[in-house]
Amino acid sequence: MNKEELINELIAAGAKPSEASELAQFEKSLNKPLFQRSHGFKLTQVKKVLERLNKSHRFSWRRFIRPLGLAISGLSVAGASVFASQGSLPGEPLYPIKRLSETVFEQINPEFKNEIPIRRSEEVKNLIESDKDDDAIKKSLEDYQKQSADTENEESIKQAEANLRKAQESATEKSKEEIEKVLKEGDVKGEQNKKGSESKGDDSRDSDQKPSGDSNSLEEDNSHSGEND
Amino acid sequence: MTEEFTEVYLKYSDKIFRFLYWHCQDIQKAEDLTSEVFFRAFKKWQEFKDEYPQAWLYRIARNLLIDSYRSKRSLSSLEEALEISIDEDLIENLEKNEEVQKLKLALGKLPENLRQVIILRFFEDLSSAEVGSILGIAEGNVRVLQYRGLQKLKEELE
């Protein structure tokens, strides 16, 4: 630092010229040790800083612990809700979760579709056994009809119908009639399906069977895949 | 990037170390804080590398000092700490040097703002403009503080 410059600066800051000169002289006389760390030491230190920098840039699970924890908690709660909902009946709070979970199950395993009529029929049975009103039972039967229309699995329908017959035993007169109506409609539909499949030369109502319009498409697909080999 | 960082560290770390040492008056703490300064600087390197690095490094050091006074704990505990080593030769030199010890004592008695100006302006030989930029004050204020700082330091040393 230039002494003259310092004196001017000190005067500009309010010092008297004599004082400014004295202070500038004092500053000049100060021993200002510019101590340094050794080169080797500094290289070691910078290496440590760089290692630390690299560590902080690496993927760290710690960043994700909290959001993961929240996600797992959320999934656990969801999982518990789905599990708890499986026994719920129409009109109960968890019933929508049950129905939603069925949609998901069906996506994962299309065979699950065959379980649906059984589940609906069990609901009808449980509603009757819980002394629910006839309107609720009727609504549940309508739901059964709608959902079982998508299923052609004989075993599934047989079991569902067995559930409904069992339900009839403890139902009110009105509900008994409703169940009878549904079972008859089911029998008629079954007969129609049987006749339909017989006229096409098929003697089974296997659910793997494609709908009548597409009955040749499987053979066509096989031939195509043969060509592609 | 490693070479660039190493170059910057070798060029500026002693200045930062000295600045921190005069303030905290402890070699280990000064070394600890020096590492922290460069760690933080390198983390944001892309953001600031086109700025004048010296001023930026001093600013980080000053902010770290303020934080360390507030929290009263080592800042390396906030991040993943590394084992802080000290230049053993330097410790010996500093501790044996009476002038350094005397200066350390006198500086320790100055108010924080005066001490900072004295160290940056006269020990590290920065201009008033540079000091103003680091401390976030006008050049005029730097001059007033350096005047008062020199007065006080002279009193303490005499």
DSSP for B4-63?
HHHHHHHHHHHHHHHHHHHHH--HHHHHHHHHHHHHHHHHTHHHHTTS-HHHHHHHHHHH
CA distance, residue B31 to nearest chain A CA (Å): 9
Q: What is the mean pLDDT of residues B73-82?
A: 48
What whole-number distance in Å separates Cα of residue A146 and Cα of residue A125?
A: 17
Instruction: For residue A8, give the amino acid letter.
Output: N
| Least confident among A105-109, A207-211, B15-19 | A207-211
Q: Quick check: A44 and A52 in contact, CB under 8 A?
A: no
Q: Show the CA angle centred on residue B27, arms to residues B127 and B88, nearest 5°.
A: 120
| Least confident among A125-139, B37-51, B121-135 | B37-51
Nearest to B62 by CA among B8, B15, B95: B15
Max intra-chain CA distance, chain B: 49
- Which residues, numbered 51 to 70 in chain A, qualify as contacts with chain B under a Cβ-Cβ cut-off of 8 Å? 51-53, 55-56
- Cβ distance B38 to A9 less than 8 Å, yes or no, reads no
**In terms of CA atoms, which chain A residue is nearest residue B107?**
A32
Q: What is the mean pLDDT of residues B76-100?
A: 70
DSSP type of residue A202? -
Q: How confident is the model at residue B72 (pLDDT cuts 50, 70, 90)?
A: low
Q: Show the CA angle centred on residue B88, arms to residues B84 and B94, nearest 5°.
A: 110
Give the one of B39, B87, B151 whose C-beta lies nearest to A53's C-beta: B39
Residue of A35, A44, A47 to mutate when probing chain B, most B C-beta within 10 A: A35
CA distance, residue B88 to nearest chain A CA (Å): 9
Chain B positions touching A62 (Cβ under 8 A) are none
Give the one of B18, B34, B121 whose C-beta lies nearest to A35's C-beta: B18
Prediction pTM value? 0.54
Place of tokens 């004050």: B137
- Is A2 in CB contact (< 8 Å) with chain B? no
Q: Quick check: B20 and B34 in contact, CB under 8 A?
A: yes
Residues in chain B: 158
Which helix (H) or strand (E) element contains residue B65? helix B53-71
- Burial of residue B31, with CB atoms counted within 10 A of its CB: 0-12 exposed, 13-18 middle, 19 or more buried: buried
Contacts of A121 (CB under 8 A, 6+ apart): A144, A159, A160, A161, A163, A164, A167
In angstroms, what CA-CA distances link A218 with A212, A213, A224, B95? 12, 11, 10, 92
| H runs (alpha helix) in A17-94 | 17-29, 39-57, 62-85
Q: Show the CA angle centred on residue A16, arms to residues A12 and A22, nearest 5°.
A: 105
Between A70 and A212, the more confident residue is A70
Give the one of B6, B85, B99 whose C-beta lies nearest to A46's C-beta: B6
Chain A positions touching B31 (Cβ under 8 A) are 45
Average per-residue pLDDT for chain B: 87
- Cβ distance A45 to B35 less than 8 Å, yes or no, reads yes
Residues above pLDDT 90, as percent of chain B: 61
Reply yes or no on whether the pLDDT at A215 is more than 50.
no
Q: Quick check: A12 and B1 in contact, CB under 8 A?
A: no
- Cβ distance B150 to A53 less than 8 Å, yes or no, reads no
In angstroms, what CA-CA distances link A182 with A160, A165, B124? 11, 11, 97
Q: Is A14 left (phi over 0), alpha (psi -120 to 50) or beta?
A: left
- Is A216 in CB contact (< 8 Å) with chain B? no
Indicate the SS3 state at residue B82: coil
How many CB atoms within 10 Å of residue B75? Answer: 20
Reply yes or no on whether the pLDDT at A1 is more than 50.
yes
Q: How many helices (H) and strands (E) does chain A have?
A: 10, 0
Reply yes or no on whether the pLDDT at A223 is more than 50.
no
* Phi and psi torsions of B68, nearest 5°: -70, -30
Give the one of B14, B125, B146 whose C-beta lies nearest to A37's C-beta: B14
Q: What is the mean pLDDT of residues B38-49?
A: 83
Q: How confident is the model at residue A225 (pLDDT cuts 50, 70, 90)?
A: very low
Residue of A5, A30, A43 to mutate when probing chain B, most B C-beta within 10 A: A30
How many CB atoms within 10 Å of residue A210? Answer: 10
| HSE toward the beta carbon, residue A228, CA cutoff 13 A | 6
Instruction: Take residue B5 and report the two structure tokens written for it.
Output: 């960082």
Place of tokens 């009808």: A124
pLDDT in tens, A82-137: 767 778 888 887 888 888 888 877 777 777 888 888 889 989 988 888 888 888 88
Indicate the SS3 state at residue B138: coil
Residue of B143, B144, B148, B153 to mutate when probing chain A, most A C-beta within 10 A: B143
